[in-house]
Structure 1
Amino acid sequence: MDTALLIGATGLVGDYLLRQLLADEQFRHLKVFTRRPTGYQNPRLEEHIVDFDQPRTWNHLLQGDVLFSSLGTTLAQAGSQEAQYQVDYSYQYQAAQAAAENGVPAYVLVSSSGADADALMFYSRMKGELERDVKRLPFQRIRILQPGILAGPRAESRPAEKIGLWLATAASAMPLLRSYRPIHARTVARAMHHAALDETPGVQTDSLEQVFTRAGKTEQVHGKQM
């Protein structure tokens, strides 16, 4: 593995992933495409500040061995379903399509549990449509991770997510609801990192339990192992 490409590096999962990739010298070159600076300095890091609404101005730079995609926003941050769809689906699909056309062999996407292109719920349908469409791209290897509610420090306050995290953590004590328990963003990032090193050809989609297994380590969330 030589060159890793990353979009979404300033997000919760992406920031952890970037740190892990910088610590792994198997990746000799890291190309990050972001809307704002990451704040990291490293001779192996090549940072591109890009306009995701103008993909033709930078998509030719998506050349390497693996594209990691962890870009995303919330409905509250985006302001509308259309704006959220632009970030979570359009920006990510456009980058994946360009990388595939440029000959990048591997693609690793963090999606969401419950992703289903036929779902009634907007968020699940949006995530499912992205999964469906990237699977049609000519990558040699595709890894899709479907974590549940993400735990970890955030720069902005998200009251609804905090309530959801608390409820999911409480529910995780019940065996039938463990598949909905939270997962730390660091664990998801580690699973993405490990997924890129798996050279088995084809598409693999990891459920929450499989994300934990691929990461190989649990994190503490509210005093519980998650």
Structure 2
Amino acid sequence: MMKKLTANLIGATGLVGSHLLQQLLNDDRFEQVRVFSRRATGQSHPKLNEQLVNFDEMTEWASLINGDVLFSTLGTTLKKAGSKEKQFVIDYTYQYQAAETAVKNGVADFVLVSSAGANTNSKIFYSRMKGELDEAVKGLDFKKIIILRPSILDGDRQEKRTAEKIGIKVMRWLTQYVFKKYRPIHAKTVARAMINSIFNEELTTDYLIFELDEVEKLGA
């Protein structure tokens, strides 16, 4: 009988994270889902262990990040963060610190949502930041590091983003003909791909990056 896993999740209140949380709770292969969040998810489930935390004081709850896998879907927008410096703290620093803590505590696997176009040499701040994180976690001693690079995320968000919804409709049309690697992908597909990557026995390399086409296949 396969051992049931304990999952850790940061970013559970975001678009991908909320889908991932629901899927983990409904997945019999996981016996416990431990969530670290600034605010409550609003979920109630026997498997859910919800920890409301301050990411600026990670040392206070670092020992709680343990088990089998860390799923990281944390992220924000420049507009919401207020500055590039603050966005960097959320999108890079918090996620790297959580991953670093997890590996010190013996967590075997790390699954990270990055972004299409992530590149350490990009002139675009967001793409460069994502590329830098992808490269940084490569140096951590997990048994398996899995990075997913979806494009524009589709799905219903808690907050209204009218401009984004319009942009997704435009991109759906436009990417039929050009820029196909940036076509929208639904957040629930990305979430499924994150879970499936853990159980895919064909994935034997210890550091894997999945671009959009591969994320879609993995999440099918």
Q: Provide the aligned C-alpha RMSD in A.
A: 1.1
Name the residue aligned to 2:17. Answer: 14
Name the residue aligned to 2:37. Answer: 34
Q: Offset of 1:158 from its aligned partner? A: 2.2
How many residues are paired up?
Answer: 215
* Aligned partners of 1:140 and 1:201 also within 8 Å: no
Give the Cα–Cα distance (whole angstroms) in 1 for the partners of residues 140 and 116 of structure 2. Answer: 22
Q: Offset of 1:155 from its aligned partner? A: 1.5
Give the Cα–Cα distance (whole angstroms) in 2 for the partners of residues 190 and 49 of structure 1. Answer: 25
Name the residue aligned to 1:104. Answer: 107
Give the Cα–Cα distance (whole angstroms) in 2 for the partners of residues 116 and 163 of structure 1. Answer: 27
Q: Offset of 1:86 from its aligned partner? A: 0.6
SS in structure 2 at match of 1:115:
coil
TM-score of the superposed pair, with normalisation by structure 2: 0.95
Name the residue aligned to 1:2. Answer: 5
Moved over 4 A (4+): none
Name the residue aligned to 2:50. Answer: 47
Structure 1 stretches of 5 or more lacking a match? 217-226
Name the residue aligned to 1:204. Answer: 208
SS in structure 2 at match of 1:28:
strand
TM-score of the superposed pair, with normalisation by structure 1: 0.92
**One-letter amino acid matched to 1:206:** F
Q: Offset of 1:201 from its aligned partner? A: 4.2
**One-letter amino acid matched to 1:90:** T
Name the residue aligned to 2:142. Answer: 139
Report percent identity of matched pairs.
52
Alignment pair present for 1:192 and 2:178: no
> What is the aligned counterpart of 2:217 among 207, 213, 217?
213
Q: Offset of 1:91 from its aligned partner? A: 0.5
Q: Offset of 1:166 from its aligned partner? A: 2.3
Give the Cα–Cα distance (whole angstroms) in 2 for the partners of residues 26 and 19 of structure 1. Answer: 13
* Aligned partners of 1:74 and 1:84 also within 8 Å: yes
Q: Offset of 1:39 from its aligned partner? A: 0.9
Name the residue aligned to 2:151. Answer: 148
Alignment pair present for 1:177 and 2:211: no
1:139-189 deviation line (CA, Å, top 9, x unaligned): 000110000000000121224423431221111221x42211100001111
Give the Cα–Cα distance (whole angstroms) in 1 for the partners of residues 199 and 69 of structure 2. Answer: 10
Name the residue aligned to 2:168. Answer: 165
Structure 2 stretches of 5 or more lacking a match? none
